[in-house]
Amino acid sequence: MKQPAQSRVRTAMLTGGRAFVLSFACIAGSVTLFVLSVLSITFILLGIGLVTTPWVMEAVRKHADQRRRLAATWSDVRIPAYYRPFPKDVRAGFTGQVERTTLLLKDPATWRDLRWLLLDMTAGFVLLVFTFALMIYPLEGLVLAAGLWRVFEDSTYWYTFVPVDSQATGLAAAALGIVLFVVGLWASQPLLRLHFVLARSALAPTQEELAQRIDRLTETRHEAVDTAASELRRIERDLHDGAQARLVAMGMNLGTIEALIEKDPAQAKKLLATARASSAEALTELRDLVRGIHPPVLAERGLGDAVKALSLRMPITSEVTVELTGRAEAPVESAAYFAVSEALTNVVKHADADRIWVDMHHAEGMLRISVTDNGKGGAAAGSGSGLSGIERRLGTFDGVLAVSSPAGGPTMVTMEIPCALS
């Protein structure tokens, strides 16, 4: 019986400490971001808000996502996040800022975040105060009984509803403090959980939005199935028209060599050289086919080295920067690799560029990849089919694609895939 009691005390104290730390996030974070958000939205009419609003809203979303993670980790409360992704053709410059701000303000999740900030710095903060106060406030009752009551002999000090002005009332305050501490042992975790449930009530998407989300997932699943079927047909076609045809021809040549080896050794020697060349070409085609299915370097050394190897085969000078502390799951790495491959192919075919930069890093649960070229621009209009293929690949993993490609360039294709590194 002793160990469970100790465990409960440790758990309650830990919960109180978490609530104490989180209360500062409510005041310093939620209050500041709410004020900045209101000011930024107000200043849109002056033009200043067009620059500041996307930046402030991004900070708000990061703040909300941090609370979602804490809710799941500390109290097992799941708060779904549903933000509308920017379309792939958001433009750069002033027009792009207007479009970004408009899209943010049209997103219901933006207003849910602002509503949560207001709720978090009021009712959410009060719940946190109660959570850690039930663990700290009882100490005051014990200190009063230990002799601090003497300070209030000439005046009455109220410990909740107990007037403390003597040793007897000091002991009464200590008894009340013990009762409050016992209440805190049982109530601290439910109070912290209630704080996160309150956050969920403000941040969670509506049923209509969840239905749209399900429809989108169904659509991306069908696209993934269609893409897989298309890849299978491509592999079958490449095998039939390439390596298989060469192997059949090589078999026929070997049969002819067998018949000529004694009658016409010179001709047999020529056919043998032809068969050797065919076998080398068949092996090369098989290697290219395997690389198109899943590059060995991707499986062995990860996404960063695979993209670097891919850039070395480009006819355009390429520079790859990788900042990854681990590896994503194999399906995510594969999708990201082939998305980069399609983006690089689009640059070679359409951009009229002589230099490519690829930047790859992972931050805040998101794999971000940008492919930039110094070409003529107009990618959204000039290579839509390729971009659509990239978007389908990313959509399977809830990834998004953004393209900035003004006329005259440069073009930047940005891809984001939510994932964890291991």
- Each residue's pLDDT tens digit, 27-67: 889 999 999 999 999 998 888 888 888 889 989 999 999 99
Q: What's the alpha-carbon Rg for the chain, to the nearest Å?
A: 33
Residue from 190, 188, 191, 192 nearest 67 by CA? 192
| Cβ-based burial of 224 (10 A; exposed 0-12, middle 13-18, buried ≥19) | middle
Contact, 360 vs 324, CB < 8 A?
yes
Assigned token pair, 299: 């499986």
Residue 325 has pLDDT above 70, yes or no: yes
Identify the pLDDT of residue 2: 43
Residues ≥6 apart with Cβ < 8 Å to 294: 334
Residue 399 has pLDDT above 50, yes or no: yes
Dist CA 286 CA 265 (whole Å): 31
Neighbours of 222 (CB within 10 A): 10
Dist CA 257 CA 370 (whole Å): 54
Cα atoms in the 13 Å half-sphere on the side-chain side of 92: 15
Highest mean pLDDT among 226-235, 263-272, 373-382, 397-406: 397-406
3-state secondary structure of 261: coil
| 367 beta partners | 362, 417
Residue 405 has pLDDT above 70, yes or no: yes
Identify the H or E element spanning 344: helix 330-346
Dist CA 8 CA 181 (whole Å): 12
Q: What phi and psi, each to the nearest 5 degrees, are found at residue 419?
A: -165, 165
- Each residue's pLDDT tens digit, 147-181: 776 666 666 777 777 777 677 777 887 888 888 88
Dist CA 145 CA 230 (whole Å): 79
Assigned token pair, 303: 């996404």
Identify the pLDDT of residue 229: 64
| 372 beta partners | 357, 412
Residue from 401, 378, 406 nearest 389 by CA? 401
Identify the pLDDT of residue 337: 87
Distances from the Cα of 243 to the Cα of 228, 367, 405, angstroms: 21, 36, 40
Peptide bond into 410 cis (omega under 30): yes
Contact, 416 vs 58, CB < 8 A?
no
Contact, 177 vs 170, CB < 8 A?
no
Dist CA 183 CA 133 (whole Å): 11
Residue 89 has pLDDT above 50, yes or no: no
- Each residue's pLDDT tens digit, 192-243: 999 999 999 998 887 676 666 666 666 666 666 666 666 667 666 666 666 6
Residue 25 has pLDDT above 80, yes or no: yes
- How far the first Cα of the chain sits from its last, in Å, is 40
Residues ≥6 apart with Cβ < 8 Å to 126: none
Q: Torsion-angle region of residue 420: left (phi > 0), alpha (psi -120 to 50) or beta?
A: beta
H helix intervals, 146-264: 167-203, 207-238, 244-260
- Each residue's pLDDT tens digit, 329-370: 888 888 888 888 888 888 888 888 888 999 998 887 788 999
Contact, 130 vs 191, CB < 8 A?
yes
- Each residue's pLDDT tens digit, 103-147: 888 888 899 999 999 999 999 999 999 898 888 778 777 777 777
3-state helix, strand, coil in the chain (%, to 5): 70, 10, 20
Identify the pLDDT of residue 386: 62
pTM exceeding 0.95: no
| 158 beta partners | 163
Identify the H or E element spanning 361: strand 355-363
Neighbours of 47 (CB within 10 A): 11
